[in-house]
Amino acid sequence: MSERYFTAVVREENTLTPQSISSIVDVDDSQQFDIVNCYKGFLEANPDIPMPIAAIESLIELIKHSKATTLSEFMKSLEEGSDLLKSSTRNPISLSAGTDLFLRFVTRTSHDVTNLDACKEHLMESGKVLVEKAIAVRHKVAELGVQFIKDDAVILIHSYSRVVMQLLQRAAACKKRFKVYVTESRPSSLGLRSAKTLRKSGIPATVILDTAVGYVIGKVDAVFVGAEGVVENGGLINAIGTYQLAIVAKAANKPFYAVLESYKFLRLFPLNQYDLPTHTPELLSFPDLDNRFSNIIGRMKLNDNHGNNVDQDETDEIEDYESNNPTVDYTPPEYITLLCTDLGVLTPSGVSDELIKLHLY
């Protein structure tokens, strides 16, 4: 693995220690190691841990519990563990970035170590160092991104991104004055969490409807979004609604910045929305869902300005409707102004160069 990937990063204080890891993963030697539960355990124990890093930590634990006696068995068990993690979630984009990066690291390391036990020990120690440094890269991203926020700026963000939150908080700490519009980001409504976080930090934040983006874009100076993954051509995979936000920003001639950690780079090359390796709802098949939604609109009184509540049956139908919609979308590189990463500020075309360095050198 390229040393450049972890250059100039600092160790984060809240990094999970080996002791805390062992308390999360308590597996009897007589039982088969459950990598999915291990992954979920990391996420529950530390809500701020990125999914790619939780996936890498889970693979490190798999190495610790591996009973493989040959290198081929060992590599196969890691690949199967990676596939199991990916299949355990509806949206494996962010998780896949971590597993693919670590498997590449394992493949390259295994060629340099002849003894399997020594190889396992080396991978576990190197993996822990990798995790410690990878978690801390948000600090560097925030430092680099502050330059794009000017005094008295109006910023528009989408959904909730930890690295975007850290960037905005860092800008506020640098005494920059700015205001933030936050999309509600249905169906998760994570924009409400973003607004709450920003207000606690003393940053003025207003939540807007997803459908109000075109209305407010004229007052906006720049758009900042996070990412679940960045693909080979510099395109972005992020929370549903990011693509249409980018289209509006492009039409209004507003800069659109993606803020992310480089361990979210993915070796994918989607050509359209339907090439993503996620659960793809059958939106184009027009099943009974269309009539059911019409019935909901006819009967529900949610947001009718009269304060009426929605019946439980109607709420269940709404949730069912949402489950049949995508959770992420793909934003092509031509809509992205710059990507702010721990490897530096990149143009979309520069992502492929960095992927080559990560995976080939």
pLDDT at 292 over 60: no
On the question of a common fold for 3-135 and 139-275+327-360, the answer reads: no
The ranges assigned to domains in the chain are 3-135, 139-275+327-360, 289-323
pLDDT at 304 over 50: no
Report pLDDT digits (tens) over 143-152.
999 999 999 9
Grade residue 320 by pLDDT with cuts at 50, 70 and 90: low
Q: pTM of the full predicted structure?
A: 0.77
* DSSP state at residue 115: S
Grade residue 23 by pLDDT with cuts at 50, 70 and 90: very low
Label residue 318 exposed, middle or buried (CB < 10 Å: 0-12, 13-18, 19+). middle
pLDDT at 14 over 80: no
Q: Provide mean pLDDT across the span 16-22.
A: 40
Q: What's residue 22's pLDDT? A: 40
356 CB-near residues (< 8 Å, 6+ apart) = none
- Is the CB of residue 89 less than 8 Å from the CB of residue 55? no
Q: Which range among 12-16, 112-116, 161-165 shows the weakest confidence by mean pLDDT?
A: 12-16
Q: Provide mean pLDDT across the span 326-355.
A: 91
- Higher pLDDT residue, 354 or 286? 354
At the second CATH level, the architecture of 139-275+327-360 is 3-Layer(aba) Sandwich (3.40)
- Is the CB of residue 96 less than 8 Å from the CB of residue 86? yes
Grade residue 107 by pLDDT with cuts at 50, 70 and 90: confident
Report pLDDT digits (tens) over 190-222.
999 999 999 999 999 999 999 999 999 999 999
Q: Provide mean pLDDT across the span 256-262.
A: 94
3-135 placed in CATH 1.20.120.420: yes
CA 134 remoteness from chain centre: 14
Label residue 123 exposed, middle or buried (CB < 10 Å: 0-12, 13-18, 19+). buried
SS3 201: coil
Report pLDDT digits (tens) over 46-64.
887 888 999 999 999 999 8
- Higher pLDDT residue, 155 or 281? 155
Q: Provide mean pLDDT across the span 114-140.
A: 81
Residue showing tokens 């939540």: 207
